[in-house]
A and B are shown apart, each in its own frame.
Chain A
């Protein structure tokens, strides 16, 4: 049940991204504050994909934006490649951002409809003065080939002429243009059909292998992240519930919320329909989160202790950390 703690931090020398005690709050009126992300810590090592999973409103997107300092968090550290981005002067931050790129949920609205594909991918290269015009055109062609689009066919067309899946490919090419070290994908396949989802997930995996990328992959669907992740972090109301390898998390979830998320995934087999207690209701308001464990109001295992003490992340099996007073064993 969503809590705090730092037991899961690996303090590895290979860390590309280390987030410590990150807090993001939005003031919406004189005495109302939305606590979107509360004291979150995690690290991502080189070449790893960290999946962040949770329901709408759990702070996934706020977290992604806070990593990029869009806007900067209220407190906490975001250490990327050894530099703390939160204390970086504006100009240095701008250049630091070239090596961390984001891919958004809605592929069509995240591309400027007035720009051709050529202009869209050229924009970052031009801003940062990467090479001459010929070199840049060369690079655009390579990028489009990488993401599985035919340069001659697409260069002079605009985003509205493409399907959602193709737009997401263009977004990926654009994000890769500046050779980033890290890619933050915010629900990159939620708006796509299942048949296209698999294509984009495979493409992201290929790009990661080819360019040695480190990824943060945000999704509300545990089934989607399974294929791409090396570590999965389950969030609830701005806190971590559980963080583990996919093998551990999917076969023996220790947090009641993780289990509920797994039970919600539809199974494409009429003979194997689960009759389980569904998670009822929706998360409480982040303006006034429950005391103690934030998940306790929807948890069937909650006791008085859950209301009084906030659970800390503890290791229940090697590499599996859970913040719950009554973990599933």
Chain B
């Protein structure tokens, strides 16, 4: 299968007053056309920075990027800001975690959806508004005519996220980056938005990168999952394979910490003790070792290399689950 997006040995460092901050290091991800890839990890694990770098953003003077990102035959890492921008909309698009701050508060919804259509597809103002209304119908907004004339503050969180999705899919992108699209929403609305994304992906033949901190969200919505920890991909596998046979102790701990509906009431939840290592000083061993219940001497002194099972399951651990110590 040909890759739509291919990330090779991606690293992102930020210069900060406290020294160089290594946000992402050595990330390799292939996203085949037509698939959905989940990126899972705690706050600060580098999920969002990885996505932004994968979109060819992060070109500031205080950022050092290494590695290559190839999207649809274009090497983003070698392109200028302007060249990358030409890919947005029809090549790739993004939806964000907080739909209120991502939308312009002083412009009507109609003009915000039309903008991409007019700039990218060269539509007239009138045609763009007609298409905007169709897009609102596509994302199942009731009464689209009234919503076109509304301002973001007049809509609920779920509605705003639907508007964000309408803007993102307006120019038929090949790849959609969804950065925690449902974290700010209620569970009922979350279920609706995830269902909508699933259907749109099928109808529009769109690939998706779904970033989330919740393994429950990736379970039914992705084909592959990349688990990130301290800036690295620590496990990568097809979704069903990952849940059936996880190798990385961090993934297991993350899964166990989710409050579940079939959890016995009144019992303690399992937690991941401690916190992510300091990003300005990653240390020598495995970043997860201080929090890992299986950690051995070797984990604290040597950084684990990416291991590969014969079936392509990748993980970064000296003592993976399922192997005798």
Q: Tell me the smallest distance from the CB of A187 to a CB of chain B, in Å.
A: 10
- The residue in chain B whose Cβ has the minimal distance to the Cβ of A201 is B269
Instruction: A267 to B267: give the CA distance in the assembly, Å.
Output: 19
Chain A residues near B214: list those with CB within 8 A: 194, 266, 268
B261 near A222 (CB under 8 angstroms)? yes
- The residue in chain A whose Cβ has the minimal distance to the Cβ of B187 is A264
B49 contacts A by Cβ under 8 Å: no
B190 near A264 (CB under 8 angstroms)? yes
A56 contacts B by Cβ under 8 Å: yes
Instruction: A82 to B142: give the CA distance in the assembly, Å.
Output: 48
B215 contacts A by Cβ under 8 Å: yes
B269 near A282 (CB under 8 angstroms)? no
Instruction: A198 to B260: give the CA distance in the assembly, Å.
Output: 11
Chain A residues near B189: list those with CB within 8 A: 55-56, 282
B219 near A273 (CB under 8 angstroms)? yes
Q: How many residues of A contact B (CB 8 A)?
A: 45
B158 near A270 (CB under 8 angstroms)? no
Interface residues as binary, A207-234 with B (CB distance below 8 Å gives 1, 0 otherwise): 0000000000000111110110110000
B268 near A273 (CB under 8 angstroms)? no
B126 contacts A by Cβ under 8 Å: no
- The residue in chain B whose Cβ has the minimal distance to the Cβ of A224 is B259
Which interface class (under 10, 10 to 19, 20 to 34, 35 or more) fits B?
A: 35 or more
A205 contacts B by Cβ under 8 Å: yes
A267 near B219 (CB under 8 angstroms)? yes
B127 contacts A by Cβ under 8 Å: no
Instruction: A57 to B239: give the CA distance in the assembly, Å.
Output: 35
- Which residues of B114-164 have CB atoms within 8 Å of chain A's CB atoms? 142, 156-159
B9 contacts A by Cβ under 8 Å: no
B188 near A268 (CB under 8 angstroms)? no
B261 near A265 (CB under 8 angstroms)? yes
A262 and B261 in contact, given A195-B254, A273-B219 (Cβ under 8 angstroms)? yes
Number of A-B contacts (CB under 8 A): 137
Chain B residues near A220: list those with CB within 8 A: 186-188
Interface residues as binary, A276-293 with B (CB distance below 8 Å gives 1, 0 otherwise): 001111100000000000
- Which residues of B213-266 have CB atoms within 8 Å of chain A's CB atoms? 213-217, 219-220, 239-240, 243-244, 253-255, 257-263, 265-266
B265 near A266 (CB under 8 angstroms)? no
- The residue in chain A whose Cβ has the minimal distance to the Cβ of B222 is A270
A271 contacts B by Cβ under 8 Å: yes
Interface residues as binary, A239-269 with B (CB distance below 8 Å gives 1, 0 otherwise): 0000000110010000000001111111111
B59 contacts A by Cβ under 8 Å: no
A163 contacts B by Cβ under 8 Å: yes
B42 near A227 (CB under 8 angstroms)? no
A199 contacts B by Cβ under 8 Å: yes
A270 and B265 in contact, given A198-B259, A222-B187, A282-B159 (Cβ under 8 angstroms)? no
- Which residues of B69-98 have CB atoms within 8 Å of chain A's CB atoms? none
B43 near A164 (CB under 8 angstroms)? yes
B259 near A267 (CB under 8 angstroms)? no
- The residue in chain A whose Cβ has the minimal distance to the Cβ of B242 is A270
Chain A residues near B284: list those with CB within 8 A: none
B215 near A163 (CB under 8 angstroms)? no
B269 near A266 (CB under 8 angstroms)? no
B272 near A278 (CB under 8 angstroms)? no
B271 near A264 (CB under 8 angstroms)? no
Chain A residues near B194: list those with CB within 8 A: 266
A267 near B269 (CB under 8 angstroms)? no
Q: Tell me the smallest distance from the CB of A198 to a CB of chain B, in Å.
A: 4
A317 contacts B by Cβ under 8 Å: no
Chain B residues near A194: list those with CB within 8 A: 213-215, 254, 257-259
A226 and B263 in contact, given A56-B157, A163-B43, A194-B254 (Cβ under 8 angstroms)? yes
Q: Which of A246, A260, A267 has the most CB of B within 10 A?
A: A267
B191 contacts A by Cβ under 8 Å: yes
- Which residues of A54-95 have CB atoms within 8 Å of chain B's CB atoms? 55-57
A98 contacts B by Cβ under 8 Å: no
A193 contacts B by Cβ under 8 Å: yes
Ordered nearest first, which 8 A-B pairs have the shortest CB separation?
A266-B216, A198-B269, A273-B220, A264-B191, A268-B216, A246-B265, A264-B187, A198-B257
